[in-house]
Structure formats: C-alpha cells, structure tokens
Amino acid sequence: MEQFSTMFLDFIASWGYVAIAVLMAAENACIPVPSELILGFSGYLIFAGQMTFTGALTAGMIGGMAGSIFAYLVGHYGGRAFVDRYGHYFFIKESHVDTAQNWFDKYGLKAVFFSRMLPVIRTFISLPAGFAHVDMKKFLILTFAGALPWTALILYAGMMLGESWKILTQIGHEASIVFVVVAALVVAVLYIRHKRKKSARESVDAD
C-alpha cells in the first residue's frame, strides 16, 4: 500500500485537479483508494500555493459523483451476484460490501447521506443503493449532500495542517466518526427548530 500511496501522490503532484478527480472517482467506484490520502495531500498543495481550494473541491466532487454513479449503475444492472463474482478483480471484498449492505438495510436512503463520512462504508454504499434500485434523483441528491462537507473538511484540514498533513491518514477513521456525530447533531437541531417554527405558525394560524 505504501508503494501505491507514493504513486497516487506523484500522480496528484503531476496532474493536479485531473488526478484528484480520477482518484476520487476510483475510490467512490469501490476501488480502495483512501480519500484521506487524496484530499489530505491536495490540502497540503493548497497550503503550498500549488492549487486553489475551490478547484480541488470541484475536482473532488466531480470525481466522487462520477464514481458513485458508476458503482450505483453496476449494482443496479449487475446485482449482488455480479459484484460477488467479479468484484475481487477490482480489490472489492465481500465483507466490505456486506457492511455497506447492512447499513443500507438498517437505515435505507439515510445511509447514502451519512455513510459518505464513514470509512469503508462510504466507498461501497452506492452498490446496495443500486441493488435496491433506489430512485436515481434521490440517490444523487443524498450523495452530493453527504460528500460535499466531507470533501471540504478533509481538504481544509490538509490545508491547515500543512506539512503535517499525513496526520490525516493516521486519524482519518476517528475523524470520520466524530464528523458523523457532529453532523447528526446539527441535523437533529435543525429538524427540531423546523418543527417548532412549524408548530408556532400553525398555532398563529389557528388563532
């Protein structure tokens, strides 16, 4: 993996935004390329003045969405049997697909949003969504909504850490869990506030 990591970093250093898009597409197409490595190093390049935050974020999102759509279509048209039969050629482990499937079975479409911030599951969640033939429009909206804050956060963290950006590859899993907890709390607070405002409006209308 160390050898592959060096290759990925050299690719990004040479090809910039194109490399970010390609590698993020690969990760979201279920090829195990760590996004902490891709985005963390890209954040460092922003720190070094070799990239812009907007450019790196755009490239990461374009690649991530493209890879997610590809994985969704594979799941949609190929099904679980196809993935189990041919997935190992692309380093896809059945255990990882099982984990993503369990999340999807438990949380449904909400898993498409929250899992984008979780290690392993974010890479494979598009497959069970495809297996289930979920509505493509909803899949795209939730994928974008979940991927955007995660992509921006890791880029920003890499930028802030500067030459110490490799810390992200060591604490990425823990950071993912913390981020999901914070995101869940924010969503819960916003939902409660929305319900209270709605109730208040209904009370005023009733009066």
- Model's pTM, two decimal places? 0.78
Return d(Cα 60, Cα 25) in angstroms, integer: 8
Contacts of residue 14, defined as CB under 8 A and 6 or more positions apart, other chains included, come to none
Structure confidence at residue 51 as a pLDDT band (50, 70, 90): very high
Lowest mean pLDDT of 45-49, 51-55, 169-173, name the range: 169-173
pLDDT for the residue numbered 109:
85
Domain ranges of the chain: 2-206
pLDDT, position 42: 93
> What is the helix, strand, coil percentage profile of the chain, to 5?
85, 0, 15
**pLDDT beyond 70 at 1:** no
Q: What is the DSSP secondary structure assignment for residue 118, as one 8-state letter?
A: S
Give pLDDT, residue 117.
75
pLDDT of residue 38 exceeding 70, the answer is yes
